[in-house]
Structure 1
Amino acid sequence: MERDRYVDFLRALAICMVVLGHWLITALVREPGGGIVAPELLAEIPWTQWLTLGFQIMPLFFLAGGHAAGGSWARTRAAGGTAAPWLARRALRLLLPAGAYCALVLIAVGICSAAGVDRSTLRLAGWAMAMQFWFLPVYLLLSALTPVLHAAHRRWGLWVPAAMGAVAVAAGTLVTAGVPAAVGPVNYVLVWGVAYQLGFCWRDGQLTRPLTAGMAVGGALAFAALITLGPYPVSLIRVTGETVGNTDPPSPAMLAWVVAQAGVCLLAAPAARRALRGVRVGRAVGFLGGASMTLYLWHMLPVLLAAVFYLAGLAPGAPLGSAAWWALRVPWLLVLAVLLAGVLAVLRPLERALGRLSEAVAPPPGARHDRPALLWAGLACCVTALAYWSVYGLAPDGRFPTPPALAFAAGTALLTLPHRSAARSPRDGETAAPAREAA
């Protein structure tokens, strides 16, 4: 099947909007004593919470991810491959860049800690460099569940995301009612899993135009009702001080936004595909897609680099939220974009080396794993470490996080264990057919 450029575009768009959104709401203020604080824009200026409706488009990443994973897993099954090596191959494409990123940041944390850098400053920097990590454990869990989710999709189709959504609404209602917090984490898999599962349905042509129009309108109306008549805030990013939020864990309002956004995206698909036919557009989408993991991981580093100007008193200041402050957002974004371009250029050799390493250590398409239990244990270690860092940052309490660092390293190593390179051995007189890429 020909690769769908629109799917690649959605993933690139989601990453770019996350980067832009994080940059826009990040505010640095130099205190009279010379220190730097980062006031929370969404809490200080409540009307800015409406901006999150435009920047929270991660549902599109999960939708596109489900579309791609559904095709990849179907091809792997057809080639006789099994789940463990398929998952290892996909997981390593995320974990190796994430591991390189964590290693470099943690080395910096260790050096700064040994040099006596203030722990509160180090904790803030470590949190800023890990704030995007929430996505990785959720996506890895959905990838691990793909064989089961796709089997359910083949049997029940659209009933699967409908059932997942119903359970997510029930769980979200219980969380809002004050039921023990253990119920909440289920919705990370259920709500984002609805978008992922809709990706399967999209790829198999089950989302007709009338249905997607109903998703867009129904989801939008449900979201409007939940934020006006219900207990949920408009912000699609957690705001300090809120008793009820939409993302931590994902709420029924976030689920409504997922459905609405998926519907709009699919309605726009024909026109978008026509616009994406150009060669130059295709190259741009391809470049952003290839650099998406690097963009996602490293996009807060330019903020820390820009903080040097604030520490030196060289950055222009204006009252938070004033007209002058908003005007300064334009050069702020331009400076960060230039810095990120430089970071990407410096990291390009590392990015290519990690790509080659991934191909070298990952199981080939159609492989079988000799010790799948160890592979699943490795994935569990990585997911646990990433989840910990997403909550506490890469320098919790201003210290080097030794246990999660060891867990992540051990987990990644387990994912690279030896494997058998073919799904089955050819019979006498047969020639082994080349495995098909399950990208």
Structure 2
Amino acid sequence: MTGMSRDRYVDFLRAWAIVLVVLGHWLITALVREPDGRITAPELLATVPWTQWLTLAFQIMPLFFLAGGHAAGGSWSRARAAGGTPAGWLGRRALRLLLPVGVYSGAVLLAVGVCAAVGVDRDTLALVGWAMAMQFWFLPVYLLLSALTPALYAAHLRWGPRVPLALGTAALAADTLVVTAHAPFVGLLDYVLVWCVAYQLGFCWRDGLLSGRRALPLTMAAGGGLAFAGLVALGPFPVSLILVTGQHPSNTDPPSAAMLAWVVAQTGLALLAAPPLRRLLDRERVWRVVRPVGAASMTLYLWHMLPVLAVAAAFYLTGLAPEPTLGSAAWWGLRVPWLLVLGAVLAGVVTALKPLERGLGALYGRTVPDAGLRRAWPLWLGLALDVVALGRFAVQGFAPGGRFPVLPALGLVAGTALVVLPRWWPAADRQERPQVTRAPDRV
């Protein structure tokens, strides 16, 4: 791969990760129509415990952070070589994420405000608000890692694989305190440390420090897998790689030592699969299928629970949907048409949003290509507000207690506005930077 071209396999990993996240969320979503007409969503992983094993197939976010680190390392290297500043690079990268997130959040918050005003049942509104924000945990973590990328990449250039090793050691120490001393605030560090290991491994992968020797990926895959199995079988950790209510400790809230082992195992498997999959992706017919999915990955990730609400209203509120016992053979048999219908609805949503995506792309294209450190403070303040607001949505949903979330909504609006602010600076104040011809960055 040249520095001017995209790595198809990295794009495939991100697309594959998003598709599995969507399918996983749809698969475990269970809806029940109560005698009073309300729709409830019993937790499949808690009600049918054996389904927690399914999360081993669908918890694929380590690959997303791995691919994200690979892409960010290349993007920052090119920007730095062209004379760009950390603030300028981060501003453009953050906008790539925040513009679609802002549109999605604005649409959901508008709907929440209208529903709250007309007196929709608070429990129902809280459930819907949680469902529409369940995927938001990823956003503040990714923004933080993006903000740290220049420093993380500098550390990578100096110490290489020793950086993820040190981060992993710190994550294990923090998780030990979480499990033994019940220190939840210490666990917040693991949201950054564990996912940063995958992100940093992406740097190492891009720079050839993990490839070329088949024994290393094989060791990572086998060692990470065995460590995960040992921590589940002998340690205190559950098998589920998705949060299960009442389960302590959890592997995701915060990310645990078992999740760290899973990161290492998935990285090894991704490296082992790279050569044959790269050959497959070199076929244009295959790439023509993968590329649109990758291009629409953010739309798929943000909007994939909207079809669930549409199908719930059309089939469950009306009583048209059959409702066999949760977890029964008949219930699993109905998962096939359930997934097909949701897929068709989501395809319609993605198609309808294409004009909006083009508009966001045009807006992004008009942003200032770079900004001097003198003007960086709006960016850092804006990102701080966005991280806090998105974190609140991730934890509490868009309608905590069935009410409109005033403070998080204002924080997201103010934070995004501060990140976008540089495009309104007078043209004379803009700091011109050398331009390089290259493929556009993706989050």
TM-score (norm 2): 0.95
Tell me if structure 2 keeps the 8 A contact 1:81–1:423: no
- Distance in 1 (CA, whole Å) between partners of 2:11 and 2:226 is 29
1:317 offset after TM fit, Å?
1.2
Question: Any stretches of 5+ residues in structure 2 without a counterpart?
Answer: none
Residue 381 (structure 1) aligned to one of 373, 385, 393: 385
1:423 offset after TM fit, Å?
5.3
After TM superposition, the structure 1 = structure 2 runs for residues 71-82 of structure 1, keeping only pairs within 5 Å, are: 71-82=74-85
Residue 263 (structure 1) aligned to one of 261, 268, 283: 268
- Distance in 2 (CA, whole Å) between partners of 1:387 and 1:341 is 28
Alignment partner, residue 406 of structure 2:
402
- Distance in 1 (CA, whole Å) between partners of 2:187 and 2:66 is 22
- Distance in 2 (CA, whole Å) between partners of 1:27 and 1:124 is 13
1:422 offset after TM fit, Å?
4.0
Tell whether 2:415 aligns with 1:411.
yes
After TM superposition, the structure 1 = structure 2 runs for residues 200-349 of structure 1, keeping only pairs within 5 Å, are: 200-208=203-211, 209-308=214-313, 309-349=315-355
Q: What secondary structure does 2:265 align onto?
A: helix
Q: What secondary structure does 1:283 align onto?
A: helix
Q: Name which of structure 1's ranges 411-420 and 312-321 shifts more when overlaid on structure 2.
A: 411-420
1:357 offset after TM fit, Å?
1.0
After TM superposition, the structure 1 = structure 2 runs for residues 167-178 of structure 1, keeping only pairs within 5 Å, are: 167-178=170-181
1:15 offset after TM fit, Å?
0.3
Q: What secondary structure does 1:184 align onto?
A: helix
After TM superposition, the structure 1 = structure 2 runs for residues 140-151 of structure 1, keeping only pairs within 5 Å, are: 140-151=143-154
- Distance in 2 (CA, whole Å) between partners of 1:242 and 1:6 is 36
Corresponding residue pairs, total: 429
Tell me if structure 2 keeps the 8 A contact 1:21–1:55: yes
Amino acid at match of 2:71: A
1:180 offset after TM fit, Å?
2.2
Deviations 1:136-159 (A, max 9, x none): 000010000001100000000000
1:165 offset after TM fit, Å?
0.3
1:421 offset after TM fit, Å?
4.4
Question: Any stretches of 5+ residues in structure 1 without a counterpart?
Answer: 425-432
Alignment partner, residue 376 of structure 2:
372
Tell whether 2:196 aligns with 1:193.
yes
Amino acid at match of 2:285: R
- Distance in 2 (CA, whole Å) between partners of 1:326 and 1:313 is 19
Alignment partner, residue 181 of structure 1:
184
Amino acid at match of 1:190: L
Deviations 1:196-252 (A, max 9, x none): 000000000000322111110100010000000000000000101112110000000
Deviations 1:255-287 (A, max 9, x none): 000000000000110000001111122122221
Tell me if structure 2 keeps the 8 A contact 1:85–1:368: yes
Amino acid at match of 1:42: L
- Report % sequence identity: 67
1:388 offset after TM fit, Å?
0.3
Residue 28 (structure 1) aligned to one of 28, 31, 42: 31
Amino acid at match of 2:329: A
- Distance in 1 (CA, whole Å) between partners of 2:294 and 2:89 is 21
- Distance in 2 (CA, whole Å) between partners of 1:296 and 1:284 is 18
Tell me if structure 2 keeps the 8 A contact 1:172–1:252: yes
Alignment partner, residue 392 of structure 1:
396
1:368 offset after TM fit, Å?
3.0
Tell me if structure 2 keeps the 8 A contact 1:368–1:423: no
Deviations 1:289-338 (A, max 9, x none): 11100000000000001111101101111000111000000000011001
TM-score (norm 1): 0.96
Amino acid at match of 1:339: V
Deviations 1:23-50 (A, max 9, x none): 0000001112211111100000000000
Tell me if structure 1 keeps the 8 A contact 2:87–2:371: no
Amino acid at match of 1:350: L
